[in-house]
Structure 1
Amino acid sequence: MSRLPLDDLTAAVARIRGLLLSQEKADRAVSLLAQAIKETMPGAPGTGASLLDPAGGLISSGSTDAVVRQADAAQYELREGPCLMAWAAEEVVIVHDVHTDGRWPRWASAVAGLPVRSVASAPLLAGKDSIGALKIYSALPGQYDEDRGRTLALFAGAAATLVAHVQGSEAPLRMSEQLKATLASRDTINRACGVLMERHGITHDQALQQLIQDARAAGASLVQVSGKLVERV
């Protein structure tokens, strides 16, 4: 197990607390944490956070590189991707290789031309609320594992507390239940497709068509059929 960068985390949090005393904007606070993560974690060309703006729209905050904003923009437009799933499911999401992961095919296709191969994303949990997600994009595959995910979660915990304190009630920070349900359903379907793809050596589209046929035959929804398949596995 690698050593957790607690000294870097402590230093970053201390710097941000100074900003809070002067009521600086949340994106400034997040940018300091994002830079600390980039300097600490391996293979990270880009780090940042996903939040909601005052109008309820998805935005990237504190991005260290343009690739973060580009990869995030594709997630926001398509309503799928690892960072949105980490936010909705309130758990760390690790992608070892975007090119082969298979859970978010449209997003993977959209970022195929970007230096994005590995991804780690952790939810920003403030109390009982999930108010966003912290993420790392690496140009190299296989850069992040569960250990690195726990490290990112430490940063995310600090970031969530600080961002919530800065923003207070100025912005509707909680992702809508409808969007969370949509993302969770899509992830379940994609996982079920992955099971069928591995089991039968078929494409994602073929797996999806089989799930649709099974759902019709069973008189159930696509999500219900997918969920039962994933649970059995």
Structure 2
Amino acid sequence: MDAKLPPVDELASFAARMSDLLLTHDDVGEAVRALTQVLIEAIPGSAGAGVSLMDARGQRTSTSATDPVVLEADQLQYDLRQGPCLTAWAQQTTILIDDTQSEKRWPAWIRGIAHLPLRSALSCPLSTPHGAIGALKIYSRNPGGFDSRTLRLAGLLARPGALMLANAQARDAAQHFRTGLVALKGHDALGTAMGILMVRRRCSREQAFAMLITISRERNQPLHQLAQEIVSGETTL
């Protein structure tokens, strides 16, 4: 069947929402959820939508989905290491399945989803100038659920979506790096503070650490903060 796309004014509204997403969603999880919501609203007749990205362990995973069926179909792709979403991601090309019952590609995955109410699927890569960072996918309960116009619309949404998610990933990575630096500095300060106490109190390393723990609890002060004050001379013990 031909999916009826939204009229021009609605497409303009979706474009405006995508622009807003680019500016307002710093967190990757929040950005992905927003993108899947736009997808489900923009593509009529879909059974569900989702986004696949790389997780912290380097594994491909569904970071957001609008329906449990999408998660099940996606997880089977990751387990089998085959499927339309992974192919779209790897080859950076749009993949269309008109009917899962006659599809010959990815035979293990097709057999695995035979019990699910999914008959057609559309997967688009989330491509950036530096390569694909993931893929978005939309499923339909009907064969022929997506036509050429739907493919073009999905591609139009995928491009700003990829930029939005890449920016969010970069911000997340920077925040994690800053958090790591703070933790590292706190660890270094703790070791230095323990050394200072060992000299001043002529005690062992274990005794110095126990002393810091006790004072931290008495003052209701974070241990790393106390250590930094000792190192800077703000606190003399």
TM normalised by structure 1 equals 0.67
Aligned-partner SS, 1:100: coil
Residue 6 of structure 1 is matched in structure 2 by 11
Q: Secondary structure at 2:116's aligned position in 1?
A: coil
Code of the aligned partner of 1:161: L
The amino acid of 2:43's aligned partner reads: M
CA shift for structure 1 position 30: 1.6
Contact 1:54 1:170 in 2 (8 A): no
* CA deviations over 1:113-167 (Å, ceiling 9, x no partner): 1111110110000113111001001111101123211111111111110110011
**Aligned AA (2:84):** P
Distance 2:82 2:48 in 1: 19
Q: Any gaps of 5 or more consecutive residues in structure 1?
A: 172-233
Number of residue equivalences? 168
**What's the counterpart of residue 77 of structure 1?**
79
- 1:84-123: CA deviations, max 9, x gaps? 1110110111100011111011101111111111101100
What is the one-letter code of the residue matched to 1:80?
Q
8 A contact 1:116–1:140 mirrored in 2: yes
Cα deviation code 1:32-90 (max 9, x no counterpart) = 12112112212211101111001101111221111111000000000111111110110
Give the partner amino acid of 1:73: Q
The match for 1:44 among 43, 46, 67 is: 46
Residue 177 (structure 2) aligns with: none
Aligned equivalents of 1:31 and 1:169: distance in 2? Answer: 17
> One-letter code of the match for 1:46?
G
Contact kept, 8 Å, 1:47 with 1:68, in 2: the verdict is yes
User: C-alpha displacement at 1:18, in angstroms?
Assistant: 4.4
For 2:165, the equivalent position in structure 1 comes to 163
Matches of residues 78-157 of structure 1 in structure 2 within 5 Å? Answer: 78-157=80-159
**Residues 47-66 of structure 1 aligned to structure 2 (within 5 Å):** 47-66=49-68
Gap runs ≥5 in structure 2:
174-237
Q: Which residue of 1 aligns with 2:191?
A: none
By how many angstroms is 1:170 displaced? Answer: 5.5
CA distance in 2, matches of 1:40, 1:74: 26
Q: 1:69 to 1:8 in 2, by over 3 A?
A: farther
**CA root-mean-square deviation:** 1.9
17, 22, 45: which is aligned to 2:22?
17
- Give distance in 1, aligned partners of 2:171 and 2:31: 17
Distance (Å, rounded) in 2 between the aligned partners of 1:90 and 1:8: 27
Residues 7-36 of structure 1, C-alpha deviations (whole Å, 9 max, x = no match): 24323314423433xx2x212112112112
- TM-score of the pair, normalised by structure 2: 0.66
